[in-house]
Every structure is written in C-alpha cells, then in structure tokens.
Amino acid sequence: MAILDVHIKEAGYQLNEAVISNISFSINQGELMGMIGSNGAGKSTTIKAILNDLPFIEGQISRAHGSRYAYIPERPLFYQELTLWEHFEFVSAVEELGEEYLSYAKEILRKFRLSQHYHEFPGNFSKGMQQKGMLALALFTKPSLLIIDEPFMGLDPRSTKLLLDMLEEERKNGTAILMCTHILDTAQRICDSFVIVEKGNIKAKGTLEEVLSQCGATDNSLYSCITMEDDEYDE
C-alpha cells in the first residue's frame, strides 16, 4: 500500500520559477527509499515540497488516509526554552497522543543513552546528542511515514548502528521511510529503492539494479549515478 504519492509538475521558491520539475514517485508501507543526488540537485527542495513548505507548487502530493508523518531535518531544531522532555510533552499534546507514547519515549531515550539528559536543554547538547534527540522525537510518535534529511551527520559509530537497527525495526512495523543522504555505501546496503535527483529532475528511480541500469553505471555503485558538478539549484 502506498503511504506517500508524489507528483510534482513544478515547484520553487518564487511563483513560476521552478527549481524542481517532473518529480514523481511513491513509497509503500515498510519501504525504505533513498533520495540521492549531488549538492544542489534538488533533494531538499523536493522534501520541502512534500512538507508543503514552498510558496510555489504545482502538482499533487498525497499521503494514505489516517497516516502520521515525522520529519527530521539535516540541522537539529529545538525550542530554546524547553527541556528535552518538555519537547516530548509538547509534541504529545499537539498530536493528541496517549500516555503510552510518553512511556515509549522513555524507552527510546534509554536506547539513545539520553535518559540522564532529558531534563536538560537540547541547545546545550553536542551536535551528536542533538541529532539523537531529533531522532528520538520523531520515532516516539510511531509515524506511518518518516522523512529524514542526512540522518548520519554527527552520529558516532555506536549511534549510527543504533539508528540503522531502529530503521530496520520501523520498516518491519510498516513505516515508510524517505531518507536523503550522501552516505552512498550505507544507502546502497540498506535501501529497498532509490530516487536519483539531478538538476531538479529525476535521473533514475527504482530498485538498485534498475537505477544502475538507467544511469549506465559500470561499477555496480551508486557513485556512478551522481554527477559531481556545481549548478544553480538549491540542495
């Protein structure tokens, strides 16, 4: 079952000035899709379009009825006046979640080794701890769709393994995951499907074998699908 359907004819930051165009793909329940592309290819703009965070969008983006989504940005964002635990309470109140979700939050904090810091202000955390805090906040809502922008930045090896284990667990629970990353070796190993974005358009999409074929890759590597060049597009 498709959790997310994306059909973007054009989108950008100003009316009638397209940064991305003809972006179309679907993510099914329990599928981990990697969005791949060089800097400036249009990946982050595509995510903003999915989140309805652009002033100019032509097309249709739909989620399965009753689905809940969570978004983890590349740079952690927190309210300066709230402790980490107060962030969980705030999200729980806004999303009208039950007490069982807060119990799950404590479990996630323990897994990420943040239990001793839940009454502290995330603004004082290290970058790695902030990233883990954002991941914990997203996962505790038990989303149907998880959108992650560069999830491995700032994580130490232990936390990276924990994240990979939790992503696999989320997939088994039926969560659809869209992951934007530059860590191509890891993406090639864990993703079910891929969208290769180049110069604001889709260059290739499908399974690993399909995108390698569409890109004309000769070394069975996603690196062959990426054009390393600067362009005018925002990432």
Partners of 21 in the beta sheet?
10
**What's the pTM?**
0.90
**3-class DSSP assignment, residue 5:** strand
Q: For 157-185, what is the mean pLDDT?
A: 91
Tell me the per-residue pLDDT of 77-124, one tens digit each, with 9 for 90 and over: 999 999 999 999 999 999 999 888 988 999 999 988 999 999 999 999
Could you report the per-residue pLDDT of 13-59, keeping only the tens digit for each?
998 899 999 999 999 999 999 999 988 899 999 999 999 999 999 99
Could you tell me the strand order of the sheet in which 56-63 lies? 20-28, 2-12, 56-63
- Position 231 pLDDT exceeds 70: no
Q: Could you read off the pLDDT of 175-230 as tens digits, one per residue?
A: 999 999 988 999 999 999 999 999 999 999 999 999 999 999 888 899 989 864 44
- What mean pLDDT do residues 52-80 have? 93
Please report the pLDDT score of residue 35 as a whole number. 97
Smallest CA-to-CA distance from 34 within 230, 227, 211, 216 is with 211
Q: Which of 139, 147, 142 is nearest to 53 (CA)?
A: 147
Position 23 scores a pLDDT of 97
Mean pLDDT of 129-141: 91
Predicted confidence band at 9 (pLDDT cuts at 50, 70, 90)? Answer: very high
- Reply yes or no on whether the pLDDT at 235 is more than 50: no
CB 24 within 8 A of CB 11: no
Dihedral sign, Cα of residue 38, residue 41, residue 44, residue 46: negative
The span from the CA of 181 to the CA of 171, in Å, is: 18
